[in-house]
Amino acid sequence: MDAHFIPIAAEGQPEQGAPAPNRIISGSPASLTWNVEEAPGGLYAGIWEATPGKWRIEYDEWEFCHILSGVSIIEEDGGAARTVRAGDSFVLRPGFKGNWEVVETTRKEYVVRTA
């Protein structure tokens, strides 16, 4: 096994989750997370998948996302709503506040860097 090459794949037992109940705007969203890298200094990478619903998000961390499948709408407070789908990549910076709506079950690759 190469200790310096880690494939990003949805393998093994995922962590199950959901937005905090007080953040849910609509639906009953649930998520699965395959965190494949957790490095010192607050760096995480893996795959996240969520089912339809809409909830509030507030970012203290920096996150790169690449959508693998599904459709979501991300809307920053005071900004435009952006529809993201398979093939789209973007960064959410610390201080981002808004809503994440999963229209069709969405799966993304992510890299998170905490402050």
44-71 pLDDT, tens digit each: 999 999 999 999 999 999 999 999 999 9
27-113: what fold?
Answer: Jelly Rolls (2.60.120)
Largest CA distance in the chain: 48
pTM of this structure: 0.93
Domain chopping of the chain, boundaries = 27-113
Query: Rounded CA gap, 90 and 63, in Å?
Result: 8
Q: Which of 24, 28, 69 is nearest to 51 (CA)?
A: 28
Say how many C-beta atoms besides its own lie within 10 A of residue 38's C-beta: 11
Are 87 and 65 within 8 A, CB to CB? no
Are 55 and 99 within 8 A, CB to CB? yes
What average pLDDT does this structure show over 60-84?
97
pLDDT band at residue 40 under the 50/70/90 scheme? confident
pLDDT band at residue 2 under the 50/70/90 scheme? low
pLDDT band at residue 8 under the 50/70/90 scheme? very high
Query: Rounded CA gap, 93 and 85, in Å?
Result: 19
